[in-house]
Structure 1
């Protein structure tokens, strides 16, 4: 047996909402505005809060982004580098962390920045970072990401099938499932019976409750960090 030991490569893990947004921004800007990459703190804040190509809309401040960067650096998904002068800049390590090529990184980035999408939506949006010729190509990329346990289908096969990344923490994954159930119920609401409408109301109540719980968790985590600092 060899005495040599090799350093184990960090594996993707669930990330907080803010960390997913910051990682998505780092990969996106590296591809779309390479002259401004690596990113400064100002660039990261602006990219995280921009109105286009983002869902949900966020309003992150410097403390939020710093906490997200600490999380990403801790798991090996981002790095701090020295820029020109005294400026501190940040770069992603997504290719190594995800173990993907450029098409895979582009698809993962869109899922991080916009949430669950269909193959058509992925193709339209990810093509701004890497050309995806048709839906067959997109399906191949998505299939490879599914094999790596990075992506999963959220709805049954067929037209409009929706895919999502697998970096959601458990509480957010539960919210995602409830939201999809609501959307499916809403699509049939025009002909829904009274029991079906009652079911839709129950889903709304569950989503509202999960949103409240997530807000309380976020507030508690920030309060703990303030007390520990």
Structure 2
């Protein structure tokens, strides 16, 4: 099965996620694009993908229980759905287009940030390009600007060469610690402020 088609005009429903939830969601989005023949995914396949050593930071060692717990939590948030296959094990798919309120280039960028965490814009462009064509940094710029405006991406260092960015789905304690590691950069918006900003943008 191919990945789901994004629906235009859908209101985003995202909220902060813990490290397990971010890894599981990132894996489902990634594999929908890179290995569509194996998507939706079984729990075993998700565990393997979460723990793989390439395209992951930090490296994790999740087990079936941890992944199943994360899937249940993500399902309750509306971020993933379980697909029941008659006579076969259940499989899982993501609802990230609607949940995050993003398009294909934006979801490619978000996936790499979920799987690898903070990184430079140059590295991000190269990595996201394996999921969706992003020709150069000029093509990445409007994607970044949109995601930052919605609170889905955060700038950890000032704009310019080697700028470091990450996703905005951290819990508030994680986000405060991450900003402190990169020299602050002003008070981060809270999750509620991000939601209010997205609502204002949708109303315009």
Aligned counterpart in structure 1 of residue 168 of structure 2, from 162, 166, 170: 166
Displacement after TM superposition at 1:84 (Å): 5.6
TM-aligned CA distance change 1:84 to 1:159, over 3 Å: farther
List gaps (5 residues or longer) in structure 2. Answer: 1-9, 185-204
TM-aligned CA distance change 1:134 to 1:68, over 3 Å: same
In structure 1, distance between residues paired with 2:178 and 2:58: 13
Match of 2:20 in 1: 18
TM-aligned CA distance change 1:10 to 1:107, over 3 Å: closer
In structure 1, distance between residues paired with 2:134 and 2:11: 29
Looking at secondary structure, tell me which structure has more helix per residue: 1
Alignment TM-score, normalising by the size of structure 1: 0.73
- After superposition, what is the alpha-carbon deviation per residue over 1:186-218, rounded to whole angstroms, capped at 9, x for unaligned? xxxxxxxxxxxxxxxxxxxxxxxxxxxxxxxxx
- After superposition, what is the alpha-carbon deviation per residue over 1:161-199, rounded to whole angstroms, capped at 9, x for unaligned? 1111111012211321233349xxxxxxxxxxxxxxxxx
In structure 2, distance between residues paired with 1:110 and 1:10: 19
List gaps (5 residues or longer) in structure 1. Answer: 1-7, 183-229
Aligned counterpart in structure 2 of residue 81 of structure 1, from 78, 83, 87: 83
In structure 1, distance between residues paired with 2:152 and 2:73: 18
- After superposition, what is the alpha-carbon deviation per residue over 1:100-134, rounded to whole angstroms, capped at 9, x for unaligned? 11100000000000001111111110111011101
Match of 1:67 in 2: 69
Match of 2:114 in 1: 112
Larger Rg: 1
Secondary structure of the corresponding residue to residue 52 of structure 1: coil
Q: 1:10, 1:76 within 8 Å by CA — same for their partners in 2? A: no
Secondary structure of the corresponding residue to residue 53 of structure 1: coil
Secondary structure of the corresponding residue to residue 182 of structure 2: helix
In structure 2, distance between residues paired with 1:137 and 1:109: 17
Match of 1:154 in 2: 156
Q: 2:12, 2:101 within 8 Å by CA — same for their partners in 1? A: no
Match of 1:131 in 2: 133
Where do residues 40-59 of structure 1 align in structure 2 (5 Å cutoff)?
40-59=42-61
Match of 1:36 in 2: 38
Alignment TM-score, normalising by the size of structure 2: 0.82
Query: Which gives a bigger RCO, structure 1 or 2 (Cα 8 Å, sep 6+)?
Result: 2
User: Which stretches of structure 1, 4 residues or more, deviate above 6 A after TM superposition?
Assistant: none
RMSD between aligned alpha carbons?
1.6
Question: Which shows bigger deviation, 52-61 or 147-156?
Answer: 147-156
Aligned pairs, number: 175
